[in-house]
Amino acid sequence: MKSPRFLLPVVLLSLTRLALAQSHAQEFLVPSDAQKSFDTLKTLAGTWRGPITVDPGREDVKKGTLGQVTMRVTSRGNALVHEMQEADTPLDAAKYDHPVTMIYLDGDRLTLIHYCDAGNRPRMTGKLAPDGTKVEFDFVDLSGGNQYGHMYHVLFTIIDANHHIEDWTYMMPGDKAMHAHMDLMKNN
């Protein structure tokens, strides 16, 4: 028979593991607000197309221009890749804009990093609206240069499983805001 002195550490270790397992299980039973926001955005995985409206207008975005957004859940569900481009243009980074945005959970915060064609990387944090139909991101900080401006704000509005709207605000030099509105329908 084993001495009680040797069994005590085994029993304590087992109880510690059990307590940790229960606390982790509770974390998964009640998702945080950030997790709810992230789960909402992950429902947008797929390819989307729709008209782009820019205010104030830009010469390089003609009226009736169609945008294409592809969203893909990756890294075992831990990240959402958002890729944006003008519809029906090749993936030619030297000729066409093709910004990439990564959305992920950073602890208890929903974080977005936009890898902009302006050569910078604004970071934003987001939250789900009480009605569950909107996820809004606000600017936190910027990596890289700011001579051409930077993305400043993003709002995703979910209409239904096949329709959502994206509103992106770009802060031009001199703190002049430019808004891009995309009314997107699921393409696949």
Predicted confidence at residue 88, as pLDDT, reads: 84
Torsion of CA 166, 79, 138, 28, to 10 degrees: 110
Predicted confidence at residue 136, as pLDDT, reads: 98
Cβ–Cβ contacts within 10 Å for residue 103, how many? 25
Asked if 119 and 148 touch (Cβ cutoff 8 Å), the reply is yes
Predicted confidence at residue 53, as pLDDT, reads: 92
Predicted confidence at residue 20, as pLDDT, reads: 60
> From the first residue on, what is the mean pLDDT of each consecutive set of 10 residues in the chain (188 residues)?
60 61 62 94 97 77 82 97 89 78 96 95 96 96 95 97 97 93 92
Domain 33-186: which CATH class? mainly beta
Residues with Cβ within 8 Å of residue 181, at least 6 apart in sequence: 52, 53, 54, 55, 165, 166, 167
Rg (CA), the chain: 22
The residue behind tokens 């209409």 is 159
Instruction: Determine the residue type at 85.
Output: Q
Predicted confidence at residue 24, as pLDDT, reads: 58
Instruction: Determine the residue type at 174.
Output: G
Burial class from Cβ neighbours inside 10 Å (0-12, 13-18, 19+) for residue 50 reads buried
Asked if 142 and 128 touch (Cβ cutoff 8 Å), the reply is no
Asked if 117 and 94 touch (Cβ cutoff 8 Å), the reply is no
Predicted confidence at residue 65, as pLDDT, reads: 86
pLDDT in tens, 138-168: 999 999 999 999 999 999 999 999 999 999 9
Predicted confidence at residue 30, as pLDDT, reads: 86
Predicted confidence at residue 89, as pLDDT, reads: 82
Residues with Cβ within 8 Å of residue 12, at least 6 apart in sequence: none
User: Looking at residue 75, what DSSP letter applies?
Assistant: G
Predicted confidence at residue 84, as pLDDT, reads: 93
